[in-house]
Amino acid sequence: MSFAAKSRPTEPGAYNQPAPRGRSTRVRRQRVRAAWLFLTPMLIVLALVAGWPLLRTFWFSVTDATLNSMEGANFIGFENYLIHDAGGWYGLLADPEWWNAVWNTLYFTGVSVGLESVLGIIVALVLNAEFRGRTLVRAAILIPWAIPTIVSAKIWAWMLNDQFGILNHLFMTLGLIDAPLAWTADASLSMWAVIMVDVWKATPFVALLVLAALQMLPSDCYEAAKVDGISPLKVFFRVTLPLIMPALLVAIIFRALDALRVFDVIYVLTSNSSSTMTMSVYARQQLVEFQDVGYGSAASTLLFLIIALVSIAYLYLGRRQLGGDT
Amino acid sequence: MSIRLLKAVLMKIGFWALVALLVCYAVFPFYYAVITSLKPSSALFQIDYWINHVDLSNYAAVLSQSSFVQSIWNSILVAFCVVGISLTLGLTAAYALGRVRFRGRGAVLMIVLGVSMFPQVAVLSGLFEVIRTLNLYNTPWGLVLSYTIFTLPFTVWILTTFMRQLPGELEEAAIMDGATPWVTLVHVFMPLMWPAMATTGLLAFIAAWNEFLFALTFTLTDSQRTVPVGIALISGGSQYELPWGMIMAASVIVTVPLVVLVIIFQRRIVSGLTAGAVKG
Amino acid sequence: MAKLVLDKVNKRFGNAHIIRDVSLEIENGEFVVFVGPSGCGKSTLLRLIAGLESISGGELNIAGRRVNELAPRERGVGMVFQSYALYPHMTVYENIAFGLKLAKADKHSVRERVEQTARILQLETLLDRKPKALSGGQRQRVAMGRAMAREPDILLFDEPLSNLDASLRVQMRNEIARLHDRLGSTVVYVTHDQIEAMTLADKIVVLNGGIVEQVGSPRELYEHPRSRFVAGFIGSPRMNFLPVTLTAPDRHDSVVSSPHLGKLTLPIDTQGLEAGLPLTLGIRPEHIVLDDGAETTHQLPVANMEFLGNEAYVYLEVAGAEELLVCRTEATTPWRSGQSVTARIITASAHLFNADGHALQRQVRDQAAA
């Protein structure tokens, strides 16, 4: 192993192992002790709001807990998940409503994240061009991101209103539709309404990440392409896209994780309608409205497992970055 | 006019049309909320693309509801406390994770990143129990505590990224001057971390201000609610007679501070978002 | 009384052995320079002394006290960093006062110390400025002021001039030398620049691969390098190395021969070595005299000539050698490339190295005294 003369202990990767015990200076020991001391408050809070509640959710999912008797819950094994009783299968895994929620969630995630990626790239490409007022445009693009989800859901609900909504009015003026559409109430349209709102709100996030990647691209390969007379479209697919792929993937994964747990936009826009019900909405309905903590926790647990799988896949891919260097 | 010039002009027109379209797409819904909120109820159901009325009666109506005003105060209280706690805990944690090499650092980073991916609903029942046990149900403090589940991970993450970028010799100079880690953090690093802390604070503020699920679940009475829940629960006589004017006025009231923040601090927000994601 | 003693100090990073059994004694008031190529461990050694790295083996004593486990503050050392590492948000005054304040000195004595330090370094008028409003040289002085403020027994410098441009570097080099003369403090100074080492040091420590190659005064190192490495590292242009064969081993007058230079009789002890042994002849550029004399059998072609104003370097092509033979001549030298010359070696100043790179004992001790 080679070493740099100027290796500093604070530089990640400067050396592989901490100094052997006992021989380390007082400073080093003090620093490591301080590090743990500094981490403790954060770790306690995370344990309190994340670790312990998660374990409780796991436990509730194998009990018959209800909202009023959470402490006195009895262990019932995996009955919340699946049970064969009286000649039929019951439980979460046999509940068509649950599978509907799973399908809705996946559909919502796939479509909205896909649209956000495409739109995000377009917005980023526009923002990457030099033009007067670019800062202002960038600020304008950020507005949807900053608006509270509830507010954007309400605004869109108003714009999508079947009788007085501006969108129906606009579409009819343009001759795109003949009669007003019941965007949020019509089962065949409501999912698209939800996706529309989510795309509007989340595209800026994707666009900003892609923009950051675009601005780090080396300009020389573009000049080379220009000199060679390659068409811009070809340059985009052959040069730009592969280079921004890592950033785009990060954005997609962040968005996908958000979309998989989507709750508020759907809750406000279409309430508990089964045509848009996602896993989170389903779980919360079981937990809070039906007060069936056991069953709802089982749904939460499954949602957690799905997201954990996606996260682990991501962490595994991004593990090298986690090693220390940024 | 040569073809080439024509092409260039057309390209330019097309580009600006695209920019205009994007800006419209991004801004129009909010703009439309503003228009609606300024309409008297008599004009509510006619479609307007421009501001034809300036009528503040919707705002008066919303602000005369004491529960709505109270929910604004609750939101402010919750958001500021969440920002304060996240920054304090995040800064100390970021020092440990960003500047000290120790066994288990990777694991802690992994935990932090893992928690940031938790679906909120997965901890809902357990957190409900914790909050009830701590006697914080239906109080803003319950929300402050629960919001740290999503603000703390990214605060730690972004601050760690920034902390790592500070020069190592600076810390060694402090060590040579006899500074303990705490003194180094407070007197040397913190003054240099203000930009990063402002960025993270803004992101945490926005996240806390916008949160809905916990606020809906962990509060019960009007007087304890935050703004998003307050708006979601504004209702009229029946489900089909929502007071849209009031809802839009309320929406504008809670959104304007955020829009102003975004326009002023857009550079910081962008750097924070990308530091949290790209570099993570 | 501030005597710094290193006794078989070792440092390992994981499997890498960075510092191997380094033993040194540094006297009170001495200006010691660690020099070596990058990666030789000189900075690590300095950081071990500072207490910024932990010592893996051996003992470090300051003023008779074992300090291996002590924090930097407790060791009584001050350090000037390569990047200066001034606290950017503090004024010059606060930068210098920071360590004093942490040592819980009372306000009055802090002010007194800072002002005294500022006076020594001519920083009085800059005390209210922030580092970013200072020039490179001023920042350098503030960094020194901060290191000196708590009156450490030993001042440590980690390549402090490498961030400055060439002319400022010479000026700061002078200032550091004068400061040391005035204050008489013990200084350990790390640099990769051998000219800095030669001009500043009372004692130079040449490091290579984590091992001390040689310790000595600049003159000792220049005139009596103990190894080929030291011989090649100290001096600019660097020493010429030529392969020779030992033809007649002797205590005082060893004869070596080279196809390019002919037979040379050198005042070097080769007693006990076998005739026919391949050795390396080391000769400094100023110890070669060029002429077009009568002897024509060992002529070398001039490959290039560099004119420096006060002197000139003539490069000779040596068949079979990797590098050109450098000769330092007067600026008025008549030689031009393409010509052929005879290179005469001043044998009294020649060096011989064996295959391991160790220098063979030269017999001209008196020259050091002259």
Cβ A158–B247 below 8 Å, yes or no? Answer: yes
Closest to B116 in 3D by CA, of A50, A40, A204: A50
- Chain A residue with minimal CA distance to C191? A5
DSSP assignment letter at A261: T
Sign, Cα dihedral of C345, C349, C353, C357: negative
Q: Is A4 in CB contact (< 8 Å) with chain B? A: no
Both tokens assigned to C46: 């300095």
Q: Once rounded to an integer, what is the mean pLDDT over residues C263-289?
A: 89
| Residue numbers in chain B where pLDDT is lower than 70 | 1, 236-241, 275-280
d(CA A247, CA A252): 9
Nearest to A23 among C16, C18, C54 (CB): C54
Cβ B176–C98 below 8 Å, yes or no? Answer: no
pLDDT of C370 above 60 = no
Tell me, rounded to whole angstroms, the distance of Cα C229 from its chain centroid: 12
d(CA C209, CA C191): 15
On average, the pLDDT of chain C sits at 87
pLDDT of C183 above 90 = no
Confidence of residue A119 (pLDDT cuts 50, 70, 90): very high
Q: Once rounded to an integer, what is the mean pLDDT over residues C317-340?
A: 84
d(CA B45, CA B65): 23
Higher pLDDT, C274 or C368: C274
The pLDDT of residue A4: 33
Closest to A299 in 3D by CA, of A55, A93, A135: A93
Confidence of residue A162 (pLDDT cuts 50, 70, 90): confident
Higher pLDDT, C130 or A161: C130
Percent of chain A with pLDDT over 70: 89
The pLDDT of residue A79: 79
Nearest to A50 among B30, B47, B149 (CB): B149
d(CA C95, CA A232): 54
Q: Is C47 helix (H, G, I), strand (E, B) or coil?
A: helix
ipTM: 0.85
Task: Tell how strand C65-66 and strand C211-216 pair up.
Answer: unpaired
* CA atoms within a 13 Å half-sphere pointing along the CA-CB vector of A223: 3
Confidence of residue C295 (pLDDT cuts 50, 70, 90): low
On average, the pLDDT of chain A sits at 80
Report how far apart, in Å, the C-alpha atoms of C368 and of each of C55, C227, C359 are: 37, 18, 17
Higher pLDDT, C2 or B190: B190
Q: Is A272 in CB contact (< 8 Å) with chain B? A: no
- Total residue length of chain C: 370
Closest to A298 in 3D by CA, of A94, A100, A89: A94
Q: How many Å lie between the alpha carbon of C93 and the closest alpha carbon of chain B?
A: 14
pLDDT of C367 above 80 = no
Q: How many Å lie between the alpha carbon of B1 and the closest alpha carbon of chain A?
A: 23
The structural domains of chain A, with segments of one domain joined by +, span 98-291
Fold of B62-270: MetI-like fold (1.10.3720)
Sign, Cα dihedral of C98, C103, C105, C107: positive
What does the angle CA A124 – CA A125 – CA A127 come to, to the nearest 5 degrees? 60
The pLDDT of residue A25: 63
Q: Is A1 in CB contact (< 8 Å) with chain C? A: yes
Cβ C41–A5 below 8 Å, yes or no? Answer: yes
The pLDDT of residue A326: 35
Q: Is A17 in CB contact (< 8 Å) with chain C? A: yes
The pLDDT of residue C369: 40
Cβ B183–C102 below 8 Å, yes or no? Answer: yes
d(CA B175, CA B183): 10
Proportion of chain A in helix, strand, coil states, percent, rounded to 5 = 65, 0, 30
Nearest to A143 among B15, B212, B262 (CB): B262
The pLDDT of residue A20: 38
Judging contacts by C-beta atoms under 8 Å, the chain A residues touching residue B103 are 18
Judging contacts by C-beta atoms under 8 Å, the chain C residues touching residue A27 are 51-52, 71-72
Judge: domain A98-291, CATH 3.30.360.10: no
Are residues C245 and C278 in contact, defined by beta-carbon separation less than 8 angstroms? yes
Which position has the token pair 């530091």?
Answer: B275
Closest to A78 in 3D by CA, of A325, A294, A309, A314: A294
Residues of chain B with CATH 1.10.3720.10: 62-270
pLDDT digit string, tens, across residues C350-363 = 999 998 889 988 87
Report how far apart, in Å, the C-alpha atoms of B55 and of each of A173, B59, B62, B244, B254 are: 27, 9, 13, 14, 18
The pLDDT of residue A324: 41
Say if residue B140 is preceded by a cis peptide, omega within 30 of 0: no
Q: How many Å lie between the alpha carbon of A40 and the closest alpha carbon of chain C?
A: 25
**Strand order through the sheet with C65-66:** C16-26, C4-13, C57-62, C65-66
pLDDT of C2 above 60 = no
The pLDDT of residue C143: 92
Confidence of residue A17 (pLDDT cuts 50, 70, 90): very low
- Chain C residue with minimal CA distance to A25? C69
Q: Is A2 in CB contact (< 8 Å) with chain C? A: yes
The pLDDT of residue B63: 84
Judging contacts by C-beta atoms under 8 Å, the chain C residues touching residue B183 are 102
Q: Is C147 in CB contact (< 8 Å) with chain B? A: yes
Are residues B123 and A57 in contact, defined by beta-carbon separation less than 8 angstroms? yes
The pLDDT of residue A143: 87
Q: Once rounded to an integer, what is the mean pLDDT over residues C247-251?
A: 87
d(CA C15, CA B80): 49
pLDDT of A325 above 50 = no
